[in-house]
Amino acid sequence: MKWIKAARLRTLPLSLAGIIMGGALSYCTNFNSTIFWLCIATATAFQVLSNFANDYGDFTKGTDNDDRVGPKRTMQAGLISKKEMKNALILTSIISLVLAGYLSYLGTQLMETKFLVLFLALGIASVVAAIKYTVGKNAYGYSGMGDIFVFLFFGLVGVLGSKFLISGGVEWLDLLPAMSIGFFSVAVLNLNNMRDEHNDKANNKNTLVVKMGLSKAKIYHYGAIIKGMTFLLIFSILNFSSTWQFLYIIPFALLIKHLHFVKNTTENKAFDPELKKVALSTFVIAILFFLGTYLSC
C-alpha cells in the first residue's frame, strides 16, 4: 500500500493525456494499437519514476515538512526509508528504460536508424528529467525551470512523439494540440507551485511562482489555460470535417469556472483542490478529442 501511495496514481491522468492526444491524431491515418498501449505503459512508468524522485528529492532537501500544504508524501510520513526509495528509483528507472527502448524499436523498425537513435535518446532524457526535477544539487525544479520541462515532455514529446511512433509521422499542425496539452500541464504545475509558494520560498525552491509572486503567477496561469483552449480550437477549425471534433469543448466550462476561482482567491492553500480539477479536465479533453476524432473519421 505504501508504494501505491508513493506512486501517486492520481497524477497519471495528466501524464497520459498527451499519449491519448497523440493516439487521436493518429487514429484516422495509420493507428497502431499495440504501440499506442505501449506508449501508455511507458508514460505510466515515467510518471511513477517522477513521483518517486519528487518524494525523495523534496524530502532530502527539507521541502516536504509540516508547513507543506499538499498531501503528506511517504518519506515525509516515515513510511519509506531513504535506502528503500533509492532502490525503487533504480528499479523504476530500469523498467522505464526497457519500456522506452522496446517502444522505440517497435515504433521505428521500418524507418532509418537515426529515428531509433533519436527516440532512445528521448527515452534516456525522459528518465533523467524525471529524476533531476528535485534530486541533486542542480535540480531544475528548484531554479524555476520546471515549467519548461513539463511543457516539453508532457506536451511536445508526449503528443508528437507518440503520434510519430503510432502512425509513422507528424504534421506541422500537430504542434497545436501538442502545445495545448503542454500549456494545460504547465497550468497544473503552476497551481501546485502557487499552493506551495510560501513553503517553497522558505526552503529555497525558486519556482516561477516564488520568482514572480502570486499576482503575476495568476496572470501567467490565465495565459496557460487560455492558450491551451485556443490552440485546440484553432486546430479543429483548420481540420474541420465534423462537429463531433468539438466534443472536447465540454470541459472548457469547468476551466473557465476555475479561472474565475483563481482570480478571486488569495489563500494559497485554496489552490489544492483545483489541481485535480485542471488535471482531470485535461485528461477528459484528450479523451473527448479522441472520441470526436473517432466519430469524424
- The grid cell for 57 is 528529492
Q: Tell me, what amino acid is at 64?
A: D
Which pLDDT score is estimated for 67?
Answer: 66
CA nearest 190: which of 143, 146, 231, 256? Answer: 146
User: For residue 195, with 0-12 CB atoms within 10 Å meaning exposed, 13-18 middle and 19 or more buried, which class applies?
Assistant: buried
Q: Along the 297 residues of the chain, how does pLDDT read in single tens digits? A: 788 888 888 889 999 999 999 999 999 888 999 999 999 999 999 999 998 888 887 778 777 676 666 677 788 777 888 888 889 899 999 999 999 999 999 999 988 889 999 999 999 999 998 888 888 777 888 888 889 999 999 999 999 999 999 999 999 999 999 999 999 999 999 999 999 888 888 888 888 999 999 999 999 999 999 999 999 999 999 999 899 999 999 999 999 999 999 999 888 889 989 999 999 999 999 999 999 999 988
Which pLDDT score is estimated for 54?
Answer: 85
Which pLDDT score is estimated for 266?
Answer: 86
Q: What is the rounded (10 degree) CA torsion for 284, 172, 187, 232? A: -50
Cβ–Cβ contacts within 10 Å for residue 105, how many?
A: 12
From CA 285, how far away is CA 177, in angstroms rounded?
Answer: 11
| DSSP line for 20-41 | HHHHHHHHTT---HHHHHHHHH
Which pLDDT score is estimated for 287?
Answer: 97
Which pLDDT score is estimated for 66?
Answer: 67
pLDDT digits (tens, 9 = 90+) for 130-175: 888 888 777 888 888 889 999 999 999 999 999 999 999 999 999 9
From CA 113, how far away is CA 234, in angstroms rounded?
Answer: 35
Which pLDDT score is estimated for 64?
Answer: 67
Which residue in the block uniquely carries the three cell numbers 532512445?
120
Backbone angles phi, psi at 296, to 5 degrees: -95, -15
Could you tell me what percent of the chain has a pLDDT over 70?
97
- The grid cell for 125 is 532524457
DSSP state of 71: P
From CA 51, how far away is CA 278, in angstroms rounded?
Answer: 18
